[in-house]
Amino acid sequence: MNVVLLCRVSTNHQDYNRQVNELTEYCNKQGWTILRVFANKVSGAKKIEERHEIIDLIEFVKTNAVDKVICLEISRLGRNTLEALKVIQTLNEIGVCLHIKNYNLDTLVNGKVNPVSSLISTILLEIAQMERLTIAERMTSGRTQYIAKCKAEGKKMGRPASYRKSDEAMREQYSKEISLLKKGLSLRNIHAITGTSIMTIRKVRLMFINESETGK
């Protein structure tokens, strides 16, 4: 049985190595051969077109003898129900089964769509999307309350007007982004590779351009 792993975390502060290690151990016990690992640090709410690991995975399974795509849980596929279901449908059409480890769930059985899996996957994805929306609402509510409290107490918000990260600190923190900019990659591609926001990459690019013009 040839398989590939699909792993994802939502932010740069998280690490997907735990998922890779757990799934690798699981596949070894099953006697499955791992052909490749597809992993990324990206929000699960992103569209398929914005997730390079999904695009690369689909292209890979189309041209290689892959039996299953293995993920730890359904939310690793995405937290946007429609987008995640698109991935499952695409894999079904190719004839590749998605195996969800924590539920021991296969989307295909003997090459045919598993109706039970389809129902459970949809329910789990809806729950994942609801969790994401709930977290976003709590964050917005907490921010609103904090702003109101600061205004009531006459406190100023944000960083001091004098705050500015040094160019040296920027170069050190965003060395990979600068390297990719020098190679001519687009902001969107750099964002997909590094997970750094496009707004931040724009700032880094501006610094890079300014330095180039001044001969630094």
Q: What's the pLDDT at 216?
A: 46
The confidence band for 63, taking pLDDT boundaries of 50, 70 and 90, is: very high
Q: Which pLDDT tens digit goes with each residue over 34-55? A: 999 998 766 555 666 777 888 8
The one-letter amino acid at 30: Q
Q: Which pLDDT tens digit goes with each residue over 99-150? A: 999 889 899 988 898 887 778 777 776 776 666 566 556 667 666 776 676 7
Comparing 216 with 92, the larger pLDDT belongs to 92
CB 195 within 8 A of CB 201: no
Angstrom CA distances, 160 to 157, 163, 165, 168, 173, stand at 8, 5, 12, 20, 21
Give CA–CA dist 102/122, Å, rounded: 15
CATH annotation of 2-126:
3.40.50.1390
Give CA–CA dist 92/89, Å, rounded: 5
Where do the structural domains in the chain lie, given as residue ranges?
2-126, 167-214
